[in-house]
Chains A and B, each alone.
Chain A
Amino acid sequence: MPDTPRFTRRELLRSAALVPVAGALAACATPAAKPSASSSAAPVATSAANPFGVSDSKPLEVWIFDGGFGQDYAKNIHQPLFKSKYPKVEIKHNATKEITKVLQPRFAGGNPPDVIDNSGANAMDFGALAQDGQLQDLTPLLDAPSWDDPGTKVRDTIDKAVIDIGTYDGTFSVLGYVNYIFGIWYSQKAFKDNGWVPPKTWDEFLKLNETIKKSGKMAPFTYAGKFPQYLYEVLLTMAAKIGGPEVLVNIDNLEDGAWTSEAMKTSATAWAEIGAKYLMEGTAGLDHVQTQTAQNKYKVAMLPSGSWLENEQKTTTPADFEYGMFPVPDFTGSDKMPYGTLHSQPSENFIVPAKGANPQGGMEYLRAMLSKKAAGDFSEMVKTVSTVKGAGDGRQLSPGAASATKAYTAAGANIVYYRWQTWYAQLKDEAIAATGELMSGGLTPDKYLERLQKKSDEIKNDSSIKKYKR
């Protein structure tokens, strides 16, 4: 060996220094401001038929959350309808279960797609997107003529709650397409066979639980133990029924003592009793699919869920199961809200990124989705209730969807909802953790509410978290 290895190493280092890595280093994880895509190239004239000025030459990139509703509705209902009017526009259809993983880098890179169904457990945070000006203002969509009738504005064809809930920082920017209707779900067949009747008051509910427990035929009650948000849903709805909708408004607004209000105490105590006495064994360790499947097997009678349940369980439900839903019962005769009050909330949220290449096309796509035909076909295909008024009229509805729709109609204006769990993800996680403990007896109702109040106060005092009001 003529030379020492030492020398070659030094030489190597010298050559390595010449490798132009500096340029490559700059383009990695850190966001880089890019000149925004020029969407102003020869704007297309707007008209009543083409209110946003959709250009034939720009492709439209659509991303669908491939979850409980699948993606076929977009491919077979919405996109053909859009195409029927703009045959020259090329639609790039995509679907994923991991919205955040796939699309967050696109936002950071400054080239987001044109329409996103931002849903599912891995959806992107609307607050972060709104705070950053990434969401297209959809007010023009509301004021545009509807797809079906040039004389009616889109605004008048959808449930008002969609506009309330889709408004971030005073700008309507998120379109909820599906109306989630929450309640307690049961098998109409099991109830009929055993002579059980859906309860109207809390006392009746407790008695029913006791009867079912004593009958030995099945457990009375369960919830998705791994996901206690299914349980705090009924807990909060009942608190709103007892104390009025402002109970939830105060919680949303992070008011002092909002969680520890009397109505919340009463409701938490009531549900903790259900947790202590009537839960199906092993509930705490089971997820939504496992508990719902147990119900399909007649191992448990009732569980809290929403109007997507029937579609989600379609493969395990016996043909004569007949899903039914009843609203949260009256706690006492002096509840602030009447019997039949429901928690309902627009969901399956569609957005149009403001910095995408074709926001005009994106808005037009949403306008097509909101036509009566598109929404009606959608409701029928995925067995659910859309936010388009009257889209389900005259359609063949399955027992569960029919039951939920009936309850929704009966509730009229007595609809409550809450938004803190989408606004403050940290508070949601804490509520999930604490609710599980409440139901398994690890926390008393008082300690439970104190803990959530503490988290709420923490968030309120954290200047880095953006605050919302309703």
Chain B
Amino acid sequence: MLFNRYRRGLFITAFLAAPVTLYLVYVISPYIQAFYISMTDWRGVSATPAFIGLENFRRLLEDGTFWKAVTHNAGLLVLLPLITIVLALFFAFLLNVGGGGRAVGGIRGSKFYRVVFFFPQVLAVAVVAVLFQQVFRPDGSGMLNAPLMALGGKPIGFLSDPGVAFWSVLGVMVWQAVGFYVVLFSAGLASIPRDMFEAAQIDGAGRLSLFFRITLPLLWDTVQVAWVYLGIIALDVFAIVWVMTDQHGGPDWSTTVMAAEVYRNAFQYFRFGYASALGVVMFFFTVGFAILSLRLTRRERIEF
């Protein structure tokens, strides 16, 4: 008995030791080291950085570009989950429940749409970014501007007009995210017993009340998870901005985000200490958001 227990412990330990060690060495320890580096003046090449206490944090309080980046992240934090979830819920509803017929089911061709919606998710972020650079081109070869110019309009500088660029970034992020959440919500919908919808339909509920009275409340858990995921994506967005926008977060800093500023300070200005300080601040923003949103959205769970 005791021997058995011991063997089982050994067995589990043997399996877990490697991943836990890797996790500690490659995930936890760099986090801890980043906290230390953020209090040094390390410029990336020296072997002996000097400790300067909280100097970097004092400096970042006055860094206009960084705070501009923070406002962009905040904007994304509100808009990205909102738009994505609303669109994804709408599509998932149509694909699964919203069909007009007598039986509960999606609209016509829903199987095909489901695949199409998922396409963007399959593409790597860098591919999406380069793709949209071409879509947004400001001349006749841009996919959006070509028809606009053919109709006699002036081309829109989707990425070159500082007033528009942020919205272009948001649009691409929504485009890329929606497909995944359609699938997520579809899975959620599939776990809701069919008879609930049928009962409601028999009672004479239309599509609208079906959605607000049945679908949404029963999907609330999934929506909550989606919200946290999307919020974290909004806070640590990097590749789309860095690859797609002009001047990595431009023009005129109009699309820069926290992660881009961390990268810029580290690998372009060679201020690794300062960049780590930005990273530490970003870490607290992200953790703070996760805790806050999980607290706020806590709600009664419905068991089927």
B159 within 8 A of A: yes
Give the top 3 A-B pairs by smallest Cβ distance, nearest first: A285-B138, A285-B160, A282-B138
Bound Cα distance A122, B16 (Å): 40
Which of A25, A32, A281 sits near B29, CB closer than 8 Å? Answer: A25
Name the residue on B nearest A433 (C-beta): B252
Bound Cα distance A158, B289 (Å): 59
Name the residue on A nearest B13 (C-beta): A15
Which of A3, A425, A440 sits near B268, CB closer than 8 Å? Answer: A425
Pair A285/B246 contact, Cβ less than 8 Å:
yes
Which of A16, A28, A285 sits near B20, CB closer than 8 Å? Answer: A16
Name the residue on A nearest B2 (C-beta): A3
A108 within 8 A of B: yes
Pair A2/B43 contact, Cβ less than 8 Å:
no
B113 within 8 A of A: no
Counting chain A residues whose Cβ lies within 8 A of the other chain, the interface size class is 35 or more
Bound Cα distance A252, B217 (Å): 63
A125 within 8 A of B: yes
Name the residue on A nearest B30 (C-beta): A29
A242 within 8 A of B: no
Bound Cα distance A33, B13 (Å): 35
B178 shortest CB reach to chain A, Å: 26
A-B contacts, 14 of them at CB < 8 A, read A7-B5, A8-B9, A15-B17, A24-B29, A30-B33, A30-B36, A124-B45, A125-B270, A128-B44, A226-B246, A285-B139, A426-B269, A436-B246, A436-B252
B25 within 8 A of A: yes
Which of A15, A21, A225 sits near B9, CB closer than 8 Å? Answer: A15
Given contacts A25-B25, A433-B253, A442-B252, contact A282 B44 (CB under 8 A): no
A34 within 8 A of B: yes
B59 within 8 A of A: yes
Pair A226/B247 contact, Cβ less than 8 Å:
yes
Bound Cα distance A432, B252 (Å): 8
Identify the stretch in A129-137, A187-195, A200-208 within 8 Å (CB) of chain B at 4 or more residues. Answer: A129-137
Bound Cα distance A247, B29 (Å): 50
Pair B34/A464 contact, Cβ less than 8 Å:
no
Bound Cα distance A101, B16 (Å): 33
Which residues of A, 15-37, contact B by the 8 Å Cβ criterion? 15-16, 19, 21, 24-25, 28-34
Given contacts A11-B13, A31-B46, contact A285 B137 (CB under 8 A): yes
Binding site for A on B (CB under 8 A): 1, 4-5, 8-10, 12-13, 16-17, 20-21, 24-25, 29-30, 33-34, 36-37, 41-49, 55, 59, 136-139, 145, 155, 157-162, 246-247, 250-253, 264, 267-271, 274
A12 within 8 A of B: yes
Pair B25/A21 contact, Cβ less than 8 Å:
yes
Pair A433/B247 contact, Cβ less than 8 Å:
yes
Which residues of A, 393-450, contact B by the 8 Å Cβ criterion? 425-426, 429, 432-434, 436-437, 440, 442
A320 within 8 A of B: no
Pair A425/B162 contact, Cβ less than 8 Å:
no
Pair A284/B43 contact, Cβ less than 8 Å:
no
Name the residue on A nearest B137 (C-beta): A285
A104 within 8 A of B: yes
**A124 partner residues in chain B, CB cutoff 8 A:** 45, 270
Name the residue on B nearest A133 (C-beta): B46
Bound Cα distance A86, B112 (Å): 68
Which of A11, A15, A28, A128 sits near B270, CB closer than 8 Å? Answer: A128
Pair A21/B252 contact, Cβ less than 8 Å:
no
Given contacts A16-B16, A29-B30, A30-B37, contact A8 B8 (CB under 8 A): yes
A339 within 8 A of B: no
Pair A225/B270 contact, Cβ less than 8 Å:
no
Given contacts A19-B21, A432-B247, contact A442 B162 (CB under 8 A): yes
Bound Cα distance A304, B47 (Å): 42
Which of B45, B136, B252 sits near A108, CB closer than 8 Å? Answer: B45
A217 shortest CB reach to chain B, Å: 17
A107 within 8 A of B: yes
Pair B250/A433 contact, Cβ less than 8 Å:
yes
B166 shortest CB reach to chain A, Å: 14
A423 shortest CB reach to chain B, Å: 12
Which residues of A, 232-266, contact B by the 8 Å Cβ criterion? none
Contact with B along A294-338 (1 / 0, CB 8 A): 000000000000000000000000000000000000000000000
B25 shortest CB reach to chain A, Å: 5
B264 shortest CB reach to chain A, Å: 8
Which of A24, A30, A286, A434 sits near B138, CB closer than 8 Å? Answer: A286
Which of A8, A19, A464 sits near B55, CB closer than 8 Å? Answer: A464
**B25 partner residues in chain A, CB cutoff 8 A:** 21, 24-25, 28
Name the residue on A nearest B268 (C-beta): A425
Given contacts A2-B4, A24-B25, A28-B29, contact A281 B46 (CB under 8 A): no
Pair A437/B252 contact, Cβ less than 8 Å:
yes
Bound Cα distance A215, B162 (Å): 32
Bound Cα distance A21, B29 (Å): 10
Name the residue on B nearest A436 (C-beta): B251
**B46 partner residues in chain A, CB cutoff 8 A:** 31, 108, 132, 134
Name the residue on B nearest A455 (C-beta): B64
**B137 partner residues in chain A, CB cutoff 8 A:** 282, 285-286
Name the residue on A nearest B254 (C-beta): A433
A100 within 8 A of B: yes
A462 within 8 A of B: yes
Name the residue on B nearest A226 (C-beta): B246
Pair A31/B5 contact, Cβ less than 8 Å:
no
A110 within 8 A of B: yes
Bound Cα distance A448, B93 (Å): 51
**B246 partner residues in chain A, CB cutoff 8 A:** 225-226, 285, 436
Pair A8/B162 contact, Cβ less than 8 Å:
no
Pair A282/B17 contact, Cβ less than 8 Å:
no
Bound Cα distance A285, B246 (Å): 8
Which residues of A, 101-151, contact B by the 8 Å Cβ criterion? 101, 104, 107-108, 110, 122, 124-125, 127-129, 131-132, 134
* Extra 9 A-B pairs, beta carbons < 8 Å, given A16-B16, A125-B270, A285-B138: A8-B12, A11-B9, A24-B29, A31-B48, A104-B45, A285-B160, A429-B268, A437-B252, A440-B161
**A19 partner residues in chain B, CB cutoff 8 A:** 17, 20-21
B292 shortest CB reach to chain A, Å: 29
Given contacts A124-B270, A282-B139, A464-B274, contact A29 B37 (CB under 8 A): yes
B197 shortest CB reach to chain A, Å: 39
Which of A2, A129, A282 sits near B1, CB closer than 8 Å? Answer: A2
B122 shortest CB reach to chain A, Å: 27
Which residues of A, 138-192, contact B by the 8 Å Cβ criterion? none
Bound Cα distance A8, B4 (Å): 11
Pair B162/A437 contact, Cβ less than 8 Å:
yes
Bound Cα distance A58, B74 (Å): 55
Bound Cα distance A7, B12 (Å): 12
A275 shortest CB reach to chain B, Å: 13
Given contacts A2-B1, A110-B47, A125-B270, contact A433 B59 (CB under 8 A): no
Pair B138/A284 contact, Cβ less than 8 Å:
yes
**A28 partner residues in chain B, CB cutoff 8 A:** 25, 29-30, 33
